[in-house]
Structure 1
Amino acid sequence: MARPKTPILSPERIRRAALDLVDRDGLEGLSMRRLAGELGVQAASLYGHYRTKDDLLHDIANEIMEKVDVSGFEGGDWRHGLTVWARSYRAALAAHPHMVPFIAMGPGRREASLRRADAVHGGLTGAGWPPRMATLIGAATKYLVVGAAINSFARGFDDDVRVYLDRYPNLSQAHRLSEHAAHIDGDGFDLALSAFLDGLADRFPPRSD
């Protein structure tokens, strides 16, 4: 049987190629025409699976959000639930930082995002937080996660020691930060998350409506 001249397309293959393109060149580097070129097909072939680029991006965002773990709320411990959610949320976003601005725009109608928002809100209210506070806690956690995922503190420093010598005496070791970026960024996030949770426990103890 002769091989087809045109590569066989599937939604999964299209999403995988599109995410590879975004990971490599950013959101601005993705177009249906360019994606078609990557797949070895005509752009018209993609529209049978996805009407618009945004439809495609929503499905990619949905797949990324499927990796976010909200099972920590099942035992009724809100702090454990938030910790598991926040860490897995950051990991899912940090794996694809160029997708973060699109995902961060909101859940919209994305099923995976809405299921997780529902689980987080239900876990917090079920643990005793008033609904308004549950909403604010979810929002604040998202701010923390998105900020950590979209940027690296440590990689923002130059690795040339001469940049800091003499002029910035308190940054004499700053040239080493990028070398240890993964640990610094991870530990910095955990510190911020822990301080946030401690503050919640101290300032806003759960209570019944």
Structure 2
Amino acid sequence: MKNVLNISKKGILMVTMFATLLSFANEVSLFKIENDAERTSLTLTNVKQGNLLSIKNSNGVVLYKELIQQSGIYSKGFDLTVLPNGGYIFELDKDVEIQTIPFTVVSNTVTFKKELETTIFKPVTRVKGNMLFVSRLSLNKAPMEIAIYFTDYDNISSNQELIFSEKIKDTQSVNRIYKLTGINKGDYKVVFTTEERVFTTEINN
């Protein structure tokens, strides 16, 4: 079954397809934590060069970040007891997913909450000709907003114009195909908002 919606303003054709991304559904814990009174040893398995490891506070402020230099196994010790009392997360930003594990610091005591470890799958985009393919998996069926902006080469001001948007709810697996008929006349930007995060794809010519 498919639903077809024509957006005549910029000639976008949206086709909603129902499919699954079962290859993403096997969640395996990435974090191995060994915690003692003064030092936390963090081991990450199956990392890739260029992955980004961060420590953030409860407000999302980045306190530490490091680009992984070698693929394989990453291991490092951290003294987290020096952090002020509060909630924090270790975050590993990978190619198509973001994995987090929260911890708290109270009176120099560090406590990890392994049961609250989460995986956020990023929207995956692919462009073939004038067709834009979008896939995204959310095991907890988190809502996601999609907004498509267009910059017309013929427009002297070159302002980005919102030409299409939708909000997807209660869906575990999302697949979309957009036909970008103005691909030779300007640039597109696709903005995804989900789980308090924003992901952006630029389609330039």
TM-score w.r.t. length of structure 1? 0.26
Larger fraction in strand: 2
TM-score w.r.t. length of structure 2? 0.26
